[in-house]
Amino acid sequence: MKRRGASALLKRALRILERAYGPRLWDGRRDPVDTLIGTILSQNTTGANSSAGFRRLKERFRTWDEAADARVSTIKRCIRVSGLSRTKAPRIRKILRQIRARYGSIDLGFLAEADPEEAYETLVQFDGVGPKTALCVLLFALGMSVFPVDTHIFRVTRRLGVLPDGVMRERAHELLTPQIAPNDRYALHVLLIAHGRNICRARNPRCAECTLLSLCPFGRNGPRQTSSTL
């Protein structure tokens, strides 16, 4: 790791963030296919926009089978609010068709009985499902002790100095997960995202208001206010 004591630092960060934002507890099992599609819609957009696109999909199609058999243009219209609909619509339909072709129905409930590594490998076999998307399904739908890394978490943990220079975001979860106690992974994931959105922003980070400032060399050294490289 970039600095010693990464595990202890992340533990301290979690406790500080819990005091600032309130505790975060996993709220129970969700449908893995719903979570998979919702995570795809959440890419490169706001939570409100991705939720709106998901809601419109569910209103338009009574089942995922109907969506799998629909025209891409119909799916695209439903999810336009979520952004990048030209990319996401064909991806969603293709994934739904792949699930049905391989398992006979559009149902991933069997993943609940798999171990995390097996469930992860099952998900990343689908076209367009990368590490972060797969891990989000395991964490949010199935309550498995994994740690997805999105752009906010990657930025905050780099600024805290717990990731080495030059690490790619796709590998960040491999380095961070062992540093976080299994029971803390869900809460830290959710809280780091909240902190990244509200305070530790890519541009114009609000370091003077940051509850993690005492832990953060980036903030203490005086961030470049227009920097989006970290």
pLDDT digits (tens, 9 = 90+) for 19-32: 999 999 888 788 99
Predicted pLDDT at 191: 98
Do the domain assignments include residue 210?
Answer: yes
Co-location of 202 and 185 in the same domain: yes
Are 158 and 230 contacting, i.e. CB atoms less than 8 angstroms apart?
Answer: yes
Q: How far is CA 49 from CA 64, 95, 197, 201, in A?
A: 20, 21, 15, 19
Residue 132 annotated among the catalytic residues of the structure: yes
Same domain (yes/no): 109, 199? no
Catalytic residue among 2, 58, 94, 132: 132
Tokens of 155: 């930025």
Is the distance from CB of 134 to CB of 145 less than 8 angstroms? no
Task: Identify the domain containing residue 158 by its residue range.
Answer: 6-25+148-220
Query: Helix, strand or coil for residue 131?
Result: helix
Could you report the average pLDDT of every consecutive run of 10 residues in the chain (230 residues)?
Answer: 75 97 88 96 87 94 97 96 94 98 97 96 95 95 95 95 87 94 96 96 94 93 57
pLDDT digits 0-9 by tens, 176-225: 999 999 999 999 999 999 999 999 999 999 999 999 999 999 998 876 54
Are 134 and 161 in the same domain?
no
- Give me the residue label for tokens 């995390």: 116
Per the domain annotation, does 10 fall within a domain? yes
> Do the domain assignments include residue 225?
no
Buried b (16+ CB within 10 A) or exposed e, 196-208: beebbeeeebebe
222 CB-contact burial (10 Å; exposed 0-12 / middle 13-18 / buried 19+): exposed
Torsional sign, CA 27, 116, 191, 49: negative
Q: How far is C-alpha 17 from the chain's CA centre? A: 18
How many CB atoms sit inside 10 A of residue 175's CB?
Answer: 18
Q: Among positive and negative, which fits the CA dihedral 75, 81, 86, 89?
A: negative
Helix (H, G, I), strand (E, B) or coil at 29: coil
What CATH number is associated with residue 200? 1.10.1670.10
* Whether 13 and 43 share a structural domain: no
Q: Is residue 52 part of a domain?
A: yes
Quote the pLDDT of residue 229.
Answer: 52
Tell me whether residue 230 is in a domain. no
- What CATH number is given to the structural domain containing 103? 1.10.340.30
Q: Read off the tokens for 57.
A: 């999909």
H/E element, 184: none
pTM over 0.85: yes
Report DSSP state, residue 93: H
Last residue of a domain, one of 79, 109, 141: 141
CA dihedral 52, 54, 55, 57 (to 10 degrees): 120
**Collapsing DSSP states into helix, strand and coil, what is residue 100?**
helix
Identify whether 55 is part of a domain: yes
Q: Which helix (H) or strand (E) holds 21?
A: helix 6-21
Residue 123 in domain: yes
Q: How far apart are the first and last CA of the chain?
A: 17
